[in-house]
Structure 1
């Protein structure tokens, strides 16, 4: 048995957990304050939320941690439930995606930890502490590209496995463009990442394009068909969204959003410098959309193959297996 801690912000952590669980041959328990997802095959431990206090205090423990609000009943119940689960099941490994605090809790119980490293500057004291105690680290970007995580020590770099972008959908086969007006699919994320006024202006400037908006109030769990049907995808620079655009082999306009530790800005900068089939804008522009979509549509989507080859989940699983205790061999009679 292993555990997979799923952070509740965004959808990428959950999608990665599901993809990994589907290819592993060991039981995986999901640990999250998110509800159990449809189709999850193993156990699921629902954790209390620890972010309901409107005026939390002492949240970073003098800069050594990220989120440990003082006297918070949700945090207390959350950590107690995780400790109880560890005591009940004695897991062979915990995958932390991502929480410094959960990483430390597991390691203090003697459980080895595989840490997922996100893009951006991860050199702050809290990240350094959490990554230092992990037995191995996984980065969801391809080997050979500039590292998306900065601030790692030499020892952390030595334990980092770059497995490539992980899409929950299979890599799409090349296909000709569909007849009719050209299509734009906008991946705005759960929070609705883009200014609605900018999207309205973009549509007004591109009368020959049909726009489909996914995200915010029009969130869908399965955007795959809309991504496949698009001639161009307009997306934020979150790892999950980019992985699925890459798996669909669609060219994209990438508009990074402000995130802690410059997560999306870092990813967008690497994409802009590497010959990927993207047009990167540092902010969502209000004009120039006709030319921008034309430029993106002229890029070859197959160039995404180096970013997402469809085998990241298997490489992730191989790292997990390398950390598990060896199974005893059967003794023949």
Structure 2
């Protein structure tokens, strides 16, 4: 039995878990998930709902910089760790996406850990402990798109499985007639909002372009159809958004949002180096939008095939299944 910890913030962690869990089930490998999120409808294995560890008054949350989030005396944190610890003796390995504390907990119980790697500068003390102690790292990107400066001893134990999205098994919908030029904005809920009035200013600067903006506050009823019904996508540089745009092979303007460890700026840099799309480190000035949209449309979206081969979840499940077989007595 494999354990799988799913972080609650954003959509990327649970999207990966659902895809990998589905592929593991096809291979006959059992998975038990641990998360404070509600169990997804399509999750076929066990789902252990954890209490939240969020608090407005944390006391020594980083243990002097050794950890990221372990506030002293917090009942929710203690309940989470106890719920996971009770199941660790039954598990042959634990996939952690993502939590330094859960990774170290499992390792201290003598259970092999597979840490899902994140982009950005992860040279801080807690990340070093989690990544160095993991038996395997799982990178949801191709090795050619790895961050520059990725340590060699991490690369040696990393499975680079490529991007994965919920759309990877879908065929493009029937072509829809479009009047004029359409921009689809895809913005996530995992972090910083846009500057006030940014989208309105971009609209005003691009007459002749029809902007449709999708976000958690105004979700798409059919994002796959929306992606194929636009001429250019404007999205942030989070793993999940990029995987979905890449799966649909759409021309794009990618704008990195501020994130801890500069995670999205590292993703944007990888996209720029490969020439897959227009990729920016911050939201641009309004008068640059006409040129940016024209450049994205000229560049096209076929280059995204290199980013998302549409088999990332299967490759990840295959790696985990082999590892589980190897470590199981």
C-alpha deviation, 1:118, in angstroms = 0.4
- Measured against aligned partners, the alpha-carbon deviations of 1:272-302 in whole angstroms (never above 9, x if no partner) come to 12111x1122211231222221111111211
Relative distance call for 1:96 and 1:149 in structure 2 (3 A) is farther
- Give the superposition deviation at 1:327: 10
Q: TM-score, normalised by structure 1?
A: 0.91
Q: Unaligned stretches of 5+ in structure 2? A: none
Output the CA distance in 2 between the equivalents of 1:140 and 1:37. 21
Matches within 5 A, 1:203-242: 203-220=203-220, 223-242=223-242
Q: Deviations over 1:5-27 (max 9, x none)?
A: 11111110000000001111212
Alignment of structure 1 residues 103-122 onto 2, 5 Å: 103-122=103-122
- The 3 A distance-change label for structure 1 pair 172 and 5 is same
Separation (CA, whole Å) in 1 of partners of 2:244 and 2:179? 24
Which residue in the other structure is 2:83 paired with? 81
SS at match of 2:78: helix
Aligned pairs for 1:195-206 (under 5 A) are: 195-206=195-206
Q: Does 1:279 align with 2:278?
A: yes
Match of 2:155 in 1: 157
Contact 1:190 1:219 in 2 (8 A): no
For the residue of structure 2 that corresponds to 1:217, the secondary structure is coil
Q: Distance in 1 between matches of 2:233 and 2:174?
A: 16
Is 2:49 aligned against 1:46?
Answer: yes
Matching of residue 167 in structure 1 with residue 170 in structure 2: no
CA distance in 2, matches of 1:8, 1:220: 21
User: 1:67 matched to which residue of 2?
Assistant: 69
Corresponding residue of 2:130: 130
Structure 1 portions without partners, runs of 5+: 329-333
Could you tell me how far 1:116 is from its partner in structure 2? 0.5
CA deviation string 1:184-233 (max 9, x = no partner): 11111025732350101111222322222111411358622212212111
* CA gap 1:223/1:179 in 2 versus in 1, 3 angstroms: closer
Maintained 8 Å contact 2:172/2:228? no
Q: Which residue of 2 aligns with 1:99?
A: 99
TM-score (structure 2 length as normaliser) = 0.92
Q: 1:331 is matched with which residue?
A: none
Question: What pairs up with 1:299-318 in 2 under 5 angstroms?
Answer: 299-318=299-318
Measure, in 1, the Cα distance between the counterparts of 2:322 and 2:63.
Answer: 34
> How far is the alpha carbon of 1:150 from its aligned partner?
4.5
CA distance in 2, matches of 1:75, 1:220: 34
Q: What number of residue pairs does the alignment pair up?
A: 322
Check conservation: 1:106, 1:113, Cα contact below 8 A. Answer: yes
- SS at the partner of 1:111? coil
State the 1:85 CA deviation.
Answer: 2.5
Conserved? CA contact 1:66–1:126, under 8 Å: yes
Over aligned residues, Cα RMSD in angstroms? 2.1
